[in-house]
A and B are shown apart, each in its own frame.
Chain A
Amino acid sequence: MTQLDVGRGSGRWTRGQALRAAVVGGAAVGGGALLGRGLDAGASAAAPSVARDQEIMGFLLQLEQVQEALYRAAIKAGRIDGELREYVRAVAPQETEHVAFLAKGAAGKAGKPPPSDFSDVIHTPEGFRRAAIDLEELTLAAYIGQGANLTRDAVGGLARLVSVEARQAAWLRDIAGEMPAPRVADPARSPDEVLTALRDRSYIL
Chain B
Amino acid sequence: MTDLTLADLDRDEALGEALETLYGSTRAAFLRRAAFGGAAMLGAMAVPSPAAAAVTDLEILNFGLRFEYLQATFYTQADELGTIKRMIPRKQEWAHVLGAHERAHVKILKSVLGPKAAKRPFFDFHGTTETDDAFTRTAVAMEDLTVALLAGVTPQIQDRGLTAALFGLLTVEARHAAWARNIVGATPAAAAFDDPRSLGEVRTVVRRTGFVVQRPSTTMRRRAPQMTG
CB distance from B143 to the nearest CB of A (A): 10
Q: Which A residues are CB-close (under 8 A) to B101?
A: 6, 181, 184
One of B125-133, B183-191, B199-207 contacting the partner: B183-191
Q: Which A residues are CB-close (under 8 A) to B99?
A: 11
Q: Which A residues are CB-close (under 8 A) to B212?
A: none
**B208 within 8 Å of A (CB atoms):** no
CB distance from B34 to the nearest CB of A (A): 18
Q: Which B residues are CB-close (under 8 A) to A17?
A: 104
A159 and B167 contact, CB distance less than 8 A: yes
B104 and A97 contact, CB distance less than 8 A: no
B150 and A159 contact, CB distance less than 8 A: yes
**B4 within 8 Å of A (CB atoms):** no
B-contacting residues, A160-205, CB 8 Å: 160-171, 174, 179-181, 183-188
A26 and B179 contact, CB distance less than 8 A: no
Q: Which B residues are CB-close (under 8 A) to A156?
A: 154-155, 196
Cross-chain contact of B175 among A8, A9, A167 (Cβ < 8 A): A167
A-contacting residues, B163-209, CB 8 Å: 163-179, 182, 187-196
One of B6-14, B105-113, B114-122 contacting the partner: B105-113
**B141 within 8 Å of A (CB atoms):** no
B178 and A28 contact, CB distance less than 8 A: no
B172 and A144 contact, CB distance less than 8 A: no
B189 and A25 contact, CB distance less than 8 A: no
Q: Do A26 and B165 contact each other (CB < 8 Å), given the known contacts A21-B104, A179-B97?
A: yes
How distant is the Cα of A168 from the Cα of B166 in the complex, in angstroms? 19
CB distance from A78 to the nearest CB of B (A): 21
CB distance from B131 to the nearest CB of A (A): 21
Q: Which B residues are CB-close (under 8 A) to A171?
A: 178, 182, 188-189
Q: Do A144 and B155 contact each other (CB < 8 Å), given the known contacts A22-B112, A185-B108?
A: no
What count of chain B residues pass the 8 Å CB interface test? 53
How distant is the Cα of A159 from the Cα of B151 in the complex, in angstroms? 5
A163 and B163 contact, CB distance less than 8 A: no
B193 and A164 contact, CB distance less than 8 A: yes
B1 and A86 contact, CB distance less than 8 A: yes
**A35 within 8 Å of B (CB atoms):** no
CB distance from B145 to the nearest CB of A (A): 12
Q: Which A residues are CB-close (under 8 A) to B169?
A: 25, 185
Cross-chain contact of A12 among B100, B173, B179, B194 (Cβ < 8 A): B100
Q: Which A residues are CB-close (under 8 A) to B188?
A: 167-168, 170-171, 174
One of A69-77, A87-95, A107-115 contacting the partner: A87-95
A144 and B164 contact, CB distance less than 8 A: yes
Q: Which residue of A lies closest to B160 (CB)?
A: A148
Q: Do A163 and B151 contact each other (CB < 8 Å), given the known contacts A6-B97, A187-B168?
A: yes
B176 and A93 contact, CB distance less than 8 A: no
CB distance from B136 to the nearest CB of A (A): 15
Q: Which A residues are CB-close (under 8 A) to B161?
A: 26, 28, 148
Q: Which A residues are CB-close (under 8 A) to B56?
A: none
**A152 within 8 Å of B (CB atoms):** yes
A-contacting residues, B137-163, CB 8 Å: 147, 150-151, 154-157, 160-163
B104 and A148 contact, CB distance less than 8 A: no
How distant is the Cα of A58 from the Cα of B94 in the complex, in angstroms? 36
CB distance from B3 to the nearest CB of A (A): 11
CB distance from B177 to the nearest CB of A (A): 7
Q: Which residues of B contact A (CB under 8 A)?
A: 1, 93, 96-101, 103-105, 107-108, 111-112, 147, 150-151, 154-157, 160-179, 182, 187-196
Q: Which residues of A contact B (CB under 8 A)?
A: 6, 8-13, 15, 17-19, 21-22, 24-29, 48, 86, 90-91, 93-94, 97-98, 101, 140, 143-145, 147-150, 152-153, 155-156, 159-171, 174, 179-181, 183-188
